[in-house]
Structure 1
Amino acid sequence: MAKTKKRADGLIERCRVIDGKTRHFYGRTAKEVQAKLDAALIEASTRRDRGDPFCEVAEAFWRTKEPCIKYGSRRGYRHKVELAKGWFEGQGMREITSTDINRELMHMAAQGYAYKSIAGQKSVLSLIWQYWCAEMNGDTNPCTLLKLPQGLPQKKRRAPTEQEIADVKAHPEGFGLCPAIMMYAGLRLGEVMALQKKDLADGAIRVCKAVVWHNNYPELEDPKTDSAYRTVPILKPLQDALGSRLDDLADDDFIFGGKKPMTKSRYQNAWLQYSIGIGHAHDSGKRYKTGKKSKDGAPLYKAIMEPDFTAHQLRHEFASVLVECQISPQVAKELMGHADILTTQRWYVEAKASAVDEATRILNAHFTA
C-alpha cells in the first residue's frame, strides 16, 4: 500500500515498495504522482518478464570480477564482456536464448575465430548468467544447454625442432641461462623472470611468484593458481649451466635483471639477440625507418627480425620430455604447476599420437627390409 504525504515544499510524495525496494514518487498533484507510480509498476512488471537488462548485469558482473583477475588477463576478459554487450544490447536476461547465443558464436566461427577464442567467449557469457542467478535473483542460464560449433580450428604451438633444442642445450652461456631454465625446469616465463638467487637452494627451484608486465614495467604477483606454487628439482644439465654464475649475486637479486626484474622491452631484446646469436631468428617482413637516407635521398629501412621460437615452446618441450620419460601424469602435473590434470593429460594424448607415427615408421622399415 502506497503511503502519501504532503511535503513542506508543497509537493505530494508517495512511497511504494516495488520488487523489494522502496521507491519515492513526487508531483504537484495526486494525479501526477499516480501516473509516475503506475509507470514504475509497468516498468517493474516488464522487467520481471524480460529479466534485468543484459548490459546492466554484464557491467555489474565486471565490477565484481575485475579485481579478482590477474592483470595480464583483464584485457581479454573485458573484450569478451564488451563483445557480449554489443550482441545483446537492449535485451533482457530472460529474452536471450541458447539459440541466440549459438547464432553469435557461429558468426564468430564464420569470421575465422579459433576454438579457444569461442570457448572463452562462451565461458564469460556463462559467468555473467551465473552472476545474475547468484546475485540478482535470476533463474536461468541458457549457456548450460549450449554446445560449441563443430569443426572449429584449434591453433597449436609448434614444437621446437631437434636442431633448435640442440642449439639451446649447446648455448647456456649469457642470456642462454633463461631458455635453459625453461628447457630443464619447465617454468613459465613470468616465473623465470621473477627468480631471485634465494629461490634456488638445496638443489631445487622454489616457484612462489611471477613477473607480470604492466605495459613495459615489471610487477611481482602471486602465481596464477595455488597449484603453481611448487618446488622443481635442478637437474644436472641446469646445474652445469648455472655453475658459479650466481656467486656474485645477493640473495635478493633477480637472476635476470639484477636489483629489479627485467622490463618487457629489455627481455624481448635479450631473447631476440640470443636467438640471432644461435642462428634461430628470421626476417619478419616488417621494416622500420633508420632515420638515415641513401645517396639519392631516399629513406633507409632496416629489417625487423623475429625469434624462431618462444620461451613458452621450451616449457612445452619440458612437458613432452616428462611424457617420453614415462613420468606419471600426477607427478608431471606437480612439476608443471598445472591447476587441472586434464591440461597435463593432453600432453599424454599428443605423445600417443606421436608414438603411433614412430610405430608406423618402424613397421614400414621392418616390412620393406
Structure 2
Amino acid sequence: MTDFIQHLASEKRHSPRTCDSYQRDLQRLAAWLVEQNHTQWRAVGGYDLRRYVANLSRQGLSGRSIARHLSAIRRFYQYLLRERLATDNPALDIRPPKSSRRLPGVADVDQLNYLLDATPDDPLEVRDRCMFELMYSSGLRLAELASLDLNAVDRKSGEARVAGKGDKTRILPVGRKALEAIAQWLPIRAELAPQTETALFVSRRGDRLSHRSIQARLSRWGVVKGADQKLHPHMLRHSFASHMLESSGDLRAVQELLGHADIATTQVYTHLDFQHLARVYDQSHPRARRRSPRDNGDQNSGQKGSE
C-alpha cells in the first residue's frame, strides 16, 4: 500500500491531498479486512467488497463517499495487477448505492453584495475580504485560492493564472472590486510576509494561509458581518456559477471558467437556474398563478350569472 501511494505521488504526480485521501480510504479497507481474517490482497473477492460497501453504508457514508472509496480500491488493484500481486480486480463490478444529488447552496446576490461591501475592522479582515472577493469574482476552488502566488494575478490585465485539478492551468478574469481589494491587501501583506514567501495570502505569522484557516475566516466573516446563512468557500464558487448562468445562459463559458472537464458537472447549475425561473414564472405568468378562493368564488358567480 505504501508503494502504491508513492507510485501515485511520483509517477502519476497526484497532489499530496489526493494521496492522503487514497491512503485513508485504503487503510480503512485494510483494517476491516483484518477484522474479517484476510491476510493477503490477492485473496479478497467481489463478495468481500460488497460486504465492505454494505458496512460503509450502515455507518452512514453517502453514495458519493462510497464511490470515492471504490475508486481508490480499483486504482489500487490495477497497481497490484501490474506488480503481479493480484490475479484480478474484484472492485470492477461493484457499484455504490445511489444517493440523492444535493444541489449546491447559493447565496443571494444582494446578500453577497452586502457582505462584500462590509468595512474591514482590522488588517486581517482586509485580507479576508480580498480572499472572498477573489473567490466570488473568479469562481475559485478553495485549493486554488490557497495556492495562489503573488505573481499569479496580473492587475494590469485583470487576469489570474490558476492551477486547478490535475495541475491544469487556466486564465481567469478578475473583477474590478477584487482588484481593488488586492491593492488594499498588498501593503499589509508586505509587513507580514518575509521576502522569501511567495504566497499571495499569508497568516499573521507571514506563512501561506492553510485551507482550514480560510474556511474558518470565511465562516467568521459571515457571523461578524451578519450573514443569514453559514458561509463556506464552495458557496462562493457555487454562487459565482449560478449568478453567471442566470445572467448569460452560456453553459459552456461557465464550464470553462469553473475548470470542469465534463460539462455534465456544470449542468447542476442549470437546475438551480431553472428553480429561479420556475419561481418567477409561477409568480408572474397570468396562466400560472394560483387563484385565491376569492378569485374562484368571483369566477363561479360570474358563470352562474351568465347562465
Using the size of structure 2 for normalisation, the TM-score is 0.71
Q: Give 2:171's aligned residue.
A: 231
The counterpart of 1:317, out of the listed 231, 239, 259, is 239
Contact 1:115 1:154 survives alignment (8 Å)? no
Distance 2:216 2:103 in 1: 25
Query: Is 1:113 aligned to residue 74 of structure 2?
Result: no
Match of 1:188 in 2: 141
CA shift, 1:138, in A, is: 4.3
Higher RCO (C-alpha under 8 Å, 6+ residues apart)? 2
Q: Which amino acid aligns with 1:207?
A: R
**Deviations 1:257-314, CA, capped at 9 Å, x for gaps:** 3864335676466445533431238xxxxxxxxxxxxxxxxxxxxxxxxx82112210
Does the C-alpha gap of structure 1 residues 197 and 129 become closer, same or farther in structure 2, counting only changes over 3 Å? closer
Report the structure, 1 or 2, having the larger helix content.
Answer: 2
Q: Which moved more, 1:316-325 or 1:234-243?
A: 234-243
Instruction: Report the counterpart of residue 79 of structure 1 in structure 2.
Output: 24
**Which residue of the partner structure matches residue 275 of structure 1?**
222
1:203 and 2:126 are equivalent in the alignment: no
Q: Which has the higher strand share?
A: 1
Residue number in structure 1 paired with 2:114: 167
Give the equivalent residue in structure 2 for 1:366: 289
Partner of 1:332: 254
Cα 1:358–1:119, aligned 2, differ >3 Å: closer, same or farther?
A: farther
Structure 1 residues not aligned, in runs of 5+: 1-57, 210-222, 282-306
Instruction: Report the counterpart of residue 143 of structure 1 in structure 2.
Output: 91
Deviation, structure 1 residue 78: 1.5
Q: Aligned AA for 2:7?
A: T
Residue 269 (structure 2) aligned to one of 323, 342, 347:
347
Q: TM-score, normalised by structure 1?
A: 0.61
**Letter aligned with residue 158 of structure 2:** A
Paired residues of 1:185 and 1:232 also in contact (CA < 8 A): yes
Aligned to 1:23: none
How far apart in 1 are the matches of 2:44 and 2:219? 48
- Map Cα deviations across residues 37-79 of structure 1 (whole Å, 9 max, x no partner): xxxxxxxxxxxxxxxxxxxxx4543342355432223333212
- The 1-side partners of 2:257 and 2:290 are apart by 40
Distance of 1:141 and 1:349 partners within structure 2: 37
Who is 1:257 aligned against? 202
What is the one-letter code of the residue matched to 1:366? R
CA contact (8 A) 2:103 2:272 kept: no
Which amino acid is 1:319 matched to? A
Q: Residues of 1 paired with 2:15 and 2:76: CA distance?
A: 18
* Partner residue in 2 for 1:62: 5
| 1:323 to 1:203, Cα distance in 2 relative to 1, 3 A | same
Amino acid in the other structure paired with 1:225 = G
**1:254–1:356 distance in 2 versus 1, CA, 3 Å:** same
The verdict on how the C-alpha distance between 1:106 and 1:208 changes in structure 2, with shifts beyond 3 A counting, is same
* Matched residue type, 2:161: V
Tell me the secondary structure at the aligned position of residue 142 of structure 1: coil
**What do the CA deviations read for 1:109-152 (whole angstroms, capped 9, x no partner)?**
122111221111111111122112223174422322222224x3
Change over 3 Å in CA distance of 1:329–1:235 after alignment to 2: same
Q: How large is the Cα RMSD of the aligned pairs?
A: 3.5
Identity percentage over the alignment?
Answer: 20
* Aligned equivalents of 1:124, 1:310: Cα separation in 2: 27
Decide which structure has the larger Cα Rg and report it. Answer: 1
Question: Once the 2 structures are TM-superposed, how far is the Cα of residue 240 of structure 1 from its aligned partner?
Answer: 5.0
> Cα offset for 1:98?
2.6
The number of equivalent residue pairs is 272
- Counterpart position of 1:122: 70
Structure 2: distance between partners of 1:109 and 1:171: 43
- In the alignment, the residues of structure 2 paired with residue 335 and residue 154 of structure 1 have an alpha-carbon distance, to the nearest angstrom, of 23
- 1:163-194 Cα shifts (integer Å, max 9, x gaps): 64232242275231221111111112333344
- How far residue 248 of structure 1 moved from its aligned partner, in angstroms, is 8.1
Q: 1:344 to 1:136 in 2, by over 3 A?
A: same
Partner SS, residue 127 of structure 1: helix
Aligned to 2:51: 103
- Give yes or no for contact 1:168–1:180 (8 Å, CA) kept in 2: no
